[in-house]
Amino acid sequence: MSGLSSPGTEREQRIRWRHRLPRGGPVIRHDALIDLARGRRVVHVGFVDELAASKLAQGVWLHSRLGAVASSIVGLDADAEGVAWARKAGFEAHVVDAQSADAVAAVELEPAQLVVAGEVIEHVDAPGPFLRALRELVRNDGRLALTTPNAYRLLNFIAPLTGAELVHPDHTAWHSPQTLRTLLERNGWAVEEIVYYRNPRRSVQLSDGWRAFAVGQLANAARATLGGLAHVAPYWSDGMLVVARPSDA
């Protein structure tokens, strides 16, 4: 009869909603991306931030570390001031809105063996167009390495006990392994691997000020504790690293 569910439909829907979590990792985010970039032509999307100059001076800026092992590297970012600074520092870089396939294509870059989009997708307004635009940057046999914070990281469940949430003021979304897989598959990518990452300890000095030093030490202690738990239950890790290939290659 029209409008009535057939037997088993409700159970089948429950099964479709249940997705087994990956258990790979946790890896150190920068180290994993550097390994992927080794010897490859790399395009790094969203490569600058407000701390780039400080990170470069400390030798911990991801873009410069990728460039040290890649055969070549190009940076793309919507931040015109940051791109101008990077050019002065000797890096090849272009201002581009990576949510626009036309804008990305207009840069006319040689297709890369690896596109790195680290900690970007959670900032964009249009993740679908963003992922489709990245296809303009990669060879048919190339790969995309995408990282983003994990919706299920343990701090996300602890923080609300204080009546607050911990989220970057520029983030527009949290992603889980399944939401990332769905987004990628809908927009021209085939997921090859999803592993979890944890963030490394941050270098803090007394010269940064006693308050910053104390907060930094507490944060590092929390990272060490949560990092240990992540080895037992990796799905509580800080974030995820997804490696994908063009699905029509």
Among 73, 76, 71, smallest CA distance to 101 is for 76
Tokens of 96: 């581009």
CATH superfamily of 21-201+234-246: Vaccinia Virus protein VP39 (3.40.50.150)
Per-residue model confidence as pLDDT tens digits over 78-108: 999 999 999 999 999 999 999 999 999 999 9
What mean pLDDT is predicted for residues 180-207? Answer: 84
Q: For residues 237 and 195, what is the distance between their CA atoms, to the nearest angstrom?
A: 10
Q: Are 142 and 111 in contact (CB under 8 A)?
A: yes
Task: State residue 5's pLDDT score.
Answer: 46
Per-residue model confidence as pLDDT tens digits over 110-132: 999 999 999 999 999 999 999 99
Q: Is the pLDDT of residue 2 over 50?
A: no
